[in-house]
Amino acid sequence: MATELHHLSDYDAQSVPDASNMCFGIVVAEWNPEITDALLDGAVKTLEKHGTLPENIHIKTVPGSFELIYGAQQMTKNDGFDAVIILGSVIRGETPHFDYICEGVTYGIAHLNATQNIPVIYGLLTTDDLQQAKDRSGGRLGNKGDECAIDAIKMAKF
Ligand code: DLZ
């Protein structure tokens, strides 16, 4: 059997630290809202499931995924946060725009991780079509938002 996919159940099976004393920032993009709302819902529910108090989850929206870099950079300045999560969905169109945005966000978030003092978790779905994005935001392949929440908790304890 191919092992191409890993699901949230794999993550849950691993030990996840208690997150009741942790505080997180989440930046979420407004493009493809059906997808990003579902990612956000998964991330928040998973943080709370592991003990994070609702008042310690700080959510801000940005217009599109490209603005996730700036949003995350602003959030990394907040000393009270243990980690920041970015959530976005870029869907391939007919122009190279997709590649520029995906590469820009990826390098931007990598740069923040290399230069700032708190981890920034990368929750950008980069898919060929809407169905692939649905599959990964609460559909048949789980929810990337859930995975990002667990990664944020683990990295907060690093
Ligand atoms: C312009 C654009 C396009 C074509 N596609 C997406 C997308 O699929 N997902 C997304 O989050 N944002 C998209 N954007 C908007 C850009 O991320 C950005 O908001 C604008 O280029 C303004 O900087």
Decide if 111 is inside a domain.
yes
Burial of 54 (0-12, 13-18, 19+ CB in 10 A): exposed
User: Considering the entire predicted model, what is its pTM?
Assistant: 0.93
Q: How far is the CA of 9 from the centre of ligand 1 (A)?
A: 31
**Token pair recorded at residue 28:** 């979420």
pLDDT for the residue 11: 58
Decide if 17 is inside a domain.
no
pLDDT in tens, 84-142: 999 999 999 878 899 999 999 999 999 999 999 999 999 999 999 999 999 999 999 99
Q: Which atom of ligand 1 is nearest to the CA of 95?
A: 4
Residue 94, annotated ligand binder?
yes
CA distance 114 to 103: 16
**Token pair recorded at residue 47:** 């943080």
What value of ipTM does the predicted structure carry? 0.99
**What CATH number has the domain bearing residue 93?**
3.40.50.960
Query: Any idea which residue has 């493809």 for tokens?
Result: 32
pLDDT in tens, 39-58: 999 999 999 999 999 999 99
CA distance 147 to 124: 12
Decide if 1 is inside a domain.
no
pLDDT for the residue 93: 85
Decide if 51 is inside a domain.
yes
Residue 52, annotated ligand binder?
no
How many independent structural domains does the chain possess?
1
Residues with CB under 6 A from ligand 1: 29, 31-32, 63-67, 88-91, 93, 97, 101
What proportion of the chain, given as a percentage, has pLDDT over 70? 91
Decide if 91 is inside a domain.
yes
| Domain coverage including residue 118 | 28-156
**What is the pLDDT of the chain when averaged over all its residues?**
93
Decide if 6 is inside a domain.
no
**Token pair recorded at residue 75:** 């959030």
Decide if 4 is inside a domain.
no
Nearest protein Cα to ligand 1, atom 18: 64
Decide if 52 is inside a domain.
yes
